[in-house]
Amino acid sequence: MAYKRTELSPEDIDRQLALCERIRAMHGGRQPLAMVDTYGCQQNEADSERIRGYLSKIGCGFTSDETKADIVVINTCAIREHAEMRVLGNVGQLTHTKAKNPDQIIAVCGCMVQQEHMAEKLKKSYPIVDLVFGPHELWRFPELLLTQMTKKQRVFAVDDASGTVYEGIPHARDSKVKAWLSIMYGCNNFCSYCVVPYVRGRERSRRPEEILAEAQQLIAEGYKEITLLGQNVNSYGKDLDQPMDFADLIRAINDIPGEFVIRFMTSHPKDATEKLFQTMAECKKCAHQLHLPVQSGNDRVLKAMNRHYDRAKYLEEVALARRYMPDLVLTTDIIVGFPGETPEEFEDTLSLVEAVRYDSMFTFIFSPRKDTPAASMPDPYTRQEKQVWFDRLLEAANRISAEKHQEYEGKTLRVLVDGLSDGKHGNLSARTDGGRLVHLTGNETLVGQFIDVEITGSNTWALIGRVL
Ligand code: SAH
Ligand code: SF4
Ligand code: F3S
């Protein structure tokens, strides 16, 4: 679809907020309860905070118990078949809660429903679902909900669109310490295995002045960690009237007074620049943390994936980033068993992992996504064969993570205490500058503070620290 950048006007969102007031008045004084269940990535978590923001304006309280909820919103993911199966299973379970409470409103939104076949499936096989809307329609959730409530009929808002940019939707954020900040929406890359560009539309950037205003607001409210979100943050700003690049955006946020840390994800290796690494190194508030998904270590597979870089370029990039930031924490995503990937090609991924030594890795077995090019490529290896490769990769990933974590032991580090935890290693959770998880024991008033800790132990997934 040809893409023209469209910005919604402030009046469009104001109208939605006015509709929230109308819905609030319909409750007649009783506070309804809502439950929002989120699947998928940080983009979806940020979207769920917007949905909860609207629900708060409607006057809802929140519950995590679906049997008590008047409104259930399931925000779905389509990235792999497993994600969709989980969603459909959980939607199916709601048959029981709806049988007990026939007035319960069940809404399903997010990436999964933006696929025509999935919207159809919900329409035909899940009659308990009252409202279905894709990511492009989220901004008008109040209007859709009001239509469903007043007309008492099912509403499906899943038209294909390349997407809009909107400002001013209220957020009900999960944390008081860390905040997601979407800087752009959509994706233009069409990696051959990936559904995201089809369900989230084309890349579009928010204006820098809006992003800076939101960052300033967050810092004024006491947030200490801001994570900039986009499917490929490195192409931020290309579609603006006055183009601005991602490194300049980091610098502008870094210049906002206050003690806070800037993180971001995700960075596509084809677009990562020396300027970005230099800016990360120079900006004191920018974490030395880079999520740089490699997907595969083999050039033929990378080409078939439509990734636009090869192994050599990726390795050069990692070396360059580490030259600027010797303490860089590097993480990645890898797909095992891309169609036609041979055992020898998989060995290239394994050897790349051993060469780079990631701090942590997210590993996935290829899952064919309807209508993506990879779904129709010949795929001769069985699931069982792929599982063997996957297990070997996971063993390497876990071993390297544990070794890297061990190197922290005995060191003193500044961490941000970001929440409570109920694990056996302490009652507080914290993050190092590079984003590694630290378990601590200490006073709950430390939440939201940067403190020094001594690392006393570690495992594959986390560090264990002692408050100094
Ligand atoms: N925009 C990000 C990734 C978003 S999806 C990026 O480009 O890196 C997160 C991860 O899911 C991807 O990096 C990829 O490793 C994995 N993934 C995406 N589609 C997949 C599929 N069809 N099968 C298996 N894994 C997939
Ligand atoms: Fe998917 Fe590739 Fe876009 Fe990431 S960059 S969201 S993997 S198409
Ligand atoms: Fe899933 Fe959509 Fe994110 S498909 S990974 S929730 S962009």
Say yes or no to pLDDT of 1 above 50: no
Tell whether 56 is covered by a domain: yes
Half-sphere exposure of 78 (CA within 13 A, CB side): 26
Same-domain status, 14 and 96: yes
Same-domain status, 370 and 242: yes
Tell whether 179 is covered by a domain: no
Same-domain status, 244 and 307: yes
Q: Give residue 186 CA to ligand 2 midpoint distance, Å.
A: 9
Boundaries of domain holding 247: 184-406
User: Domain holding 459: CATH number?
Assistant: 2.40.50.140
Using one digit for the tens of pLDDT, what is the confidence trace for 256-281? 999 999 999 999 999 999 999 999 99
Q: Which atom of ligand 3 is nearest the CA belonging to 75?
A: 6
Tell whether 249 is covered by a domain: yes
The total of other beta-carbon atoms located within 10 Å of residue 466's CB is: 14
Question: Ligand 2 pocket check: which of 191, 198, 200, 268 to mutate, most ligand atoms within 8 Å of Cβ?
Answer: 191
Any atom of ligand 2 within 6 Å of the Cβ of 458: no
Same-domain status, 105 and 249: no
Same-domain status, 356 and 208: yes
Rounded Cα–Cα distance for residues 352 and 361 (Å): 12
Q: Give residue 276 CA to ligand 3 midpoint distance, Å.
A: 25
Using one digit for the tens of pLDDT, what is the confidence trace for 402-418? 999 999 999 999 999 99
- Rounded percentage of the chain residues whose pLDDT exceeds 70: 99
Same-domain status, 390 and 436: no
- Residues with Cβ within 6 A of ligand 1? 79-80, 193-194, 196, 231-232, 266, 268, 293, 295, 333, 335, 364, 366-367, 369
Same-domain status, 418 and 402: no
Tell whether 134 is covered by a domain: yes
Using one digit for the tens of pLDDT, what is the confidence trace for 50-94? 999 999 999 999 999 999 999 999 999 999 999 999 999 999 999
User: Domain holding 213: CATH number?
Assistant: 3.80.30.20
Closest C-alpha to 231, from 326, 320, 311, 135:
135
User: Domain holding 96: CATH number?
Assistant: 3.40.50.12160
Using one digit for the tens of pLDDT, what is the confidence trace for 195-221? 999 999 999 999 999 999 999 999 999
Rounded Cα–Cα distance for residues 192 and 8 (Å): 31
Residue owning tokens 């609207």? 54
Closest C-alpha to 264, from 235, 295, 243:
235
Say yes or no to pLDDT of 243 above 90: no
Last residue of a domain, one of 406, 425, 440: 406
Same-domain status, 292 and 419: no
Any atom of ligand 2 within 6 Å of the Cβ of 192: no
DSSP secondary structure string, 408-443?
A: TTT-EEEEEEEEE--STT-SEEEEETT--EEEE---
Same-domain status, 393 and 418: no
Q: Give residue 190 CA to ligand 2 midpoint distance, Å.
A: 6
- Residues with Cβ within 6 A of ligand 3? 40-41, 43-44, 77-79, 111, 195-196, 199-200
Say yes or no to pLDDT of 147 above 80: yes
The answer to whether the beta carbons of residues 437 and 411 sit under 8 Å apart is: no
Counting the structural domains of the chain, the total is 3
Same-domain status, 42 and 126: yes
Tell whether 169 is covered by a domain: no
Tell whether 171 is covered by a domain: no
Per-residue pLDDT band for 2 (boundaries 50, 70, 90) equals low
Same-domain status, 358 and 442: no
Any atom of ligand 2 within 6 Å of the Cβ of 196: yes
- Give, in order, the Cα–Cα distances in Å from 448 to each of 29, 179, 262, 466: 35, 12, 15, 17
